[in-house]
Amino acid sequence: MVLCDETNLKEKEAYNTSSTHWSYLPVSLTIENVFTRAALTLILVTGVTGNAFVIYVFGCKRKSSCKSTTELLILCLGITDLLSSFFNPSLYMYWTITNYCQWDFGYLGCHIVPSIGPIMTSISSGLLLIFAIDRYIAVVTPFRKKLTRKKVSIAFVLDILLSIIFYLHYVFALKFDPKLKICHIPNASDSPFYGITNCIFITLRLSLFATIFSFTNIKIYKTSNKCSIKFSRIEDRVKRLRQSKKVMIVLLTMGVVFILLVFPRELFFLGYNFKCLLVKNCKHSSPTLTQINSWLKVAHTANSCANVFIYSHMHTKYRKEIIRTLSCFGSFKKTFARHRFSFVGKENRFLLSNKRHEFTLSEEDLIYFGDAVFFQRAQKWKIKK
């Protein structure tokens, strides 16, 4: 989808010739634009703050030798979502402000900056699949070798490489016009190679995620039911059922949230590219498609914030660390307020003592001056006599 259509390009050229202050079209502040910018700002603040706290808890406070595979995956997911929650809302807010008709980051920026957000979202989905595989190994094959930190690191590197490969066609398809200063994507009807490649990779990404996620959850569910029958003690059976239920709830929550937030926009672009491949004269954009894309983009971007709440529910230590940090912050505020109050009290007492001292000095001075006046008058009275 071209970011700036032909109508906007003509208006931009006419506007640029008559204006020397702005090089993009002014955007009217409609309810949709205000809602979109407010939602993106909330996602930006929440995502950056939450994921930065995740990196602090699992990266700074936890030593590398003490990290489990789950904690290492959470750290990788926090780093990925931090970049995604920063670049996606910031870039899309810039595009909404400039009406998709301005690019100020040059040729390299046109190929790199718009690609960071989608690549990070793809890496995040890959990490969720690694989570599912890790839980699958722990529940279905508990007596076999588990995922080590080295294997998790290798899987994370492979996830990054595959995500970059999945979006290489998007990186090279981005075009920068130095004259009009716009960064746009060619239409699938104008560039069939890009359209076909995009459809293939979107279908592959969605199918891969749905297949692996469904397979791991079904296997975990069946294995938990079988294992619950083999236990002789009722306590062990209840404990196993609770653990399996907790794992199932966490995995289903991760998958459902990802599907609801990410899949709609992927399917939207898949249908749009199919339409442009079948119809030769495909329109660049329309207000309806642009508005639908805006809403889906907000939901797609919110995935980086949702992961913060998902794996905070998944990891007990993370919740305890949040409570501990907030309690420490609250005690620090109380201590600071107490010290400030005591300092202000001491300062007030010091000023009050100074005032009292000045007042006593002024009384002594008045008495001294009064005696001097009385003595002078007495001397004058003696001379007159």
DSSP for 99-163, written as a single string? TT----SHHHHHHHHHHHHHHHHHHHHHHHHHHHHHHHHHHHSTTSPPPPHHHHHHHHHHHHHHH
What is the pLDDT confidence band of residue 363, given thresholds at 50, 70 and 90? very low
In this structure, the chain runs to a length of 385
Is the pLDDT at 218 greater than 50? The verdict is yes
Q: Residue 155's closest CA among 132, 135, 130, 136?
A: 130
Model pLDDT for residues 44-101, shown as the tens digit of each residue: 999 998 888 888 888 876 666 667 787 888 888 889 999 999 999 999 889 888 877 8
Is the pLDDT at 211 greater than 80? The verdict is yes
Is the pLDDT at 231 greater than 90? The verdict is no
Q: Which residue has the tokens 């809403």?
A: 295
pLDDT of residue 380: 54
Cβ atoms 287, 343 nearer than 8 A: no
Q: What is the mean pLDDT of residues 274-294?
A: 76
Model pLDDT for residues 295-336, shown as the tens digit of each residue: 898 998 898 888 777 766 666 777 777 777 777 766 655 665
Q: What is the mean pLDDT of residues 187-202?
A: 86
Dist. CA 296–CA 96, nearest whole Å? 14
Q: Report the percent of the chain where pLDDT is more than 90.
A: 20
The region of weakest confidence among 72-76, 83-87, 189-193, 245-249 is 245-249
DSSP for 246-275, written as a single string? HHHHHHHHHHHHHHHHHHHHHHHHHHHHHH
Give the range with max mean pLDDT: 7-11, 18-22, 314-318, 360-364. Answer: 314-318
The region of weakest confidence among 193-207, 244-258, 259-273, 324-338 is 324-338
Q: Which residue has the tokens 């202050």?
A: 21
Is the pLDDT at 6 greater than 60? The verdict is no
pLDDT of residue 164: 94
Q: Which two tokens stand for residue 242?
A: 């609770």
Q: Residue 102's closest CA among 27, 222, 12, 31?
A: 12
**343 vs 236: which has the higher pLDDT:** 236
Which residues make Cβ contacts (< 8 Å) with residue 195, sequence separation at least 6?
A: 187, 188, 189, 273, 276, 277
Model pLDDT for residues 123-175, shown as the tens digit of each residue: 999 988 998 888 888 777 766 667 788 888 999 999 999 999 999 999 999 98
Cβ atoms 47, 81 nearer than 8 A: yes
Q: Which two tokens stand for residue 369?
A: 């001056």
List b or e across 212-229, with b for residues whose CB sees 16 or more CB atoms inside 10 angstroms.
Answer: bbeebbeebbebbeebee
**106 vs 191: which has the higher pLDDT:** 106
Is the pLDDT at 357 greater than 70? The verdict is no
What pTM was computed for the model?
Answer: 0.75
List b or e across 66-78, with b for residues whose CB sees 16 or more CB atoms inside 10 angstroms.
Answer: ebbbbbbbbbbbb
What is the pLDDT confidence band of residue 255, given thresholds at 50, 70 and 90? confident
Q: Which residue has the tokens 């279905």?
A: 140
Beta bridge partners of 183: 176
Is the pLDDT at 106 greater than 70? The verdict is yes
What is the pLDDT confidence band of residue 221, given thresholds at 50, 70 and 90? confident
Dist. CA 264–CA 257, nearest whole Å? 12
Q: Which two tokens stand for residue 169?
A: 């066609």
Cβ atoms 265, 325 nearer than 8 A: no
Positive/negative CA dihedral, 183, 184, 190, 194: positive
pLDDT of residue 338: 58
pLDDT of residue 314: 66
Helices (H), ranges, 26-68: 31-55
